[in-house]
Amino acid sequence: MPARRSPTQRAGDAAEAGALDFLVARGLRPLARNVSSKLGEIDLIMQDRDELVFVEVRARSRSDFGGAAASVGWAKQQRVRREAQRWLCANFGDRWPACRFDVCAVRPGGIDWIRGAF
């Protein structure tokens, strides 16, 4: 039996699903979802033409303190980068394709897609 998800976790799952649909509608192809290890977690890994895109999805119901995009701070960026390096090594060895890191900031009424966010 799967573990119960809290309301916050369910909201996060919905935000990720919405971001995935949003990106697919814009021509990106999904490769992996919720990739994690002790180093960090990557919400979505997508293919955008010849580039791999590591996507951090953040949702906030309010814009206090800068909103969802502002919540992806330096420490979170470092964890995503470390996990991306681990995933790239496991999947591509030492010959990595071009990559970028995007943020999908989910807010009431839409998604702000920040390409090359960090």
Residue 20 amino acid letter: L
Record the pTM: 0.89
**H or E segment at 94?**
none
Cβ-contact 51, 98 below 8 angstroms:
yes
pLDDT tens for each residue of 67-109: 677 778 899 999 999 999 999 999 999 999 999 999 999 988 8
pLDDT tens for each residue of 6-55: 888 888 899 999 999 999 999 999 999 999 999 999 999 999 999 999 99
**H or E segment at 76?**
helix 74-92
pLDDT on residue 60: 73
* Residues 7-114, CATH architecture: 3-Layer(aba) Sandwich (3.40)
Every domain of the chain and the residues it spans? 7-114
pLDDT on residue 65: 56
Going by C-alpha positions, the residue among 92, 105, 103, 110 that lies closest to residue 44 is 103
What mean pLDDT value characterizes the chain? 90
* Distances from the Cα of 51 to the Cα of 10, 62, 71, 107, angstroms: 30, 32, 25, 26
pLDDT on residue 116: 95
